[in-house]
């Protein structure tokens, strides 16, 4: 029986690609007068590329952006501080996020397991307004362990007092989410991400609205 459902954060609950592109465009607008000759499309495309789907720390991203675009009138520290101050203003949740979490929270214990910096990911959850749906939150920086290591999954079920066979993980990354959860003895649902090939999950969704019925289907197979 499924007792707990855990989620990845970026690209699973948060539409990070849309959010980051919107932020990058707005950031260019704030600094364009100090970056003559760099149009918004060039700036956004290069920033998104250096971000590498969120896998590179932003201080490193901005240190690379300055020489890549030949920016002379702005320091990387200014751009990084601007990112920290304004990114949450541009967060876009996937459709029906709150409605789906509200429905699931009436039937399952919910949690989040996410890689990243503690305060930053906590701010993301607050900005999305979804923290009250979750009974536990594990962030890699605060745990000292990160996906795809099995330990973070073991800690998650221990927090909720359930067995691995009673837990499901929902995420978009084949290695860090799907294969890692299954290796820890969980079921795994892949939220389809066009950047990756199908990973062999227990179930696949394209939209969060599909999740409640899929969980019922998985539970019926036990």
Q: How confident is the model at residue 221 (pLDDT cuts 50, 70, 90)?
A: confident
| Residue 146, pLDDT score | 96
Mean pLDDT of the chain: 97
Mean pLDDT on 51-79: 95
Mean pLDDT of 66-72: 97
Predicted structure pTM score: 0.93
Options 3.80.30.20, 3.40.50.1000, 3.40.1210.10, 3.40.50.10480; CATH for 4-15+92-220 is 3.40.50.1000
Q: What is the pLDDT of residue 74?
A: 97
Tokens for 116, please give them.
């990243």
What pLDDT shows up at residue 61? 98
Mean pLDDT of 166-190: 98
Mean pLDDT of 171-195: 97
Predicted pLDDT at 222: 61
Tell me what pLDDT residue 55 has.
86
The predicted-structure confidence for 138-156, as pLDDT tens digits, reads as follows: 999 999 999 999 999 999 9
């Amino acid at each position: 029986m499924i007792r707990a459902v855990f989620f990845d954060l970026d690209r699973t609950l948060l539409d990070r690609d849309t959010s980051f592109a919107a932020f990058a465009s707005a950031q260019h607008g704030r600094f364009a007068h100090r970056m003559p000759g760099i149009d918004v499309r060039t700036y956004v495309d290069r920033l998104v590329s250096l971000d590498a789907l969120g896998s590179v720390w932003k201080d490193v991203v901005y240190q690379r952006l300055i020489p890549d675009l030949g920016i002379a009138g702005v320091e990387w520290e200014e751009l990084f501080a601007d990112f920290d101050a304004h990114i949450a203003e541009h967060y876009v949740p996937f459709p029906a996020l709150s409605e789906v979490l509200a429905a699931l929270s009436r039937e399952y214990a919910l949690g989040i397991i996410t890689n990243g910096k503690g305060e930053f990911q906590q701010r993301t959850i607050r900005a999305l307004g979804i923290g009250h749906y979750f009974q536990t939150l594990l962030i890699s920086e605060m745990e000292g362990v990160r996906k795809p290591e099995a330990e973070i999954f073991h800690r998650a079920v221990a927090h909720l007092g359930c067995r691995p066979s009673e837990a499901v993980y929902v995420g978009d990354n084949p290695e860090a989410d799907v294969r890692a959860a299954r290796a820890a003895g969980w079921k795994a649902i892949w939220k389809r991400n066009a950047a990756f090939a199908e990973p062999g999950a227990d179930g696949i969704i394209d939209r969060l609205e599909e999740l409640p019925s899929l969980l019922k289907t998985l539970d019926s197979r036990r």
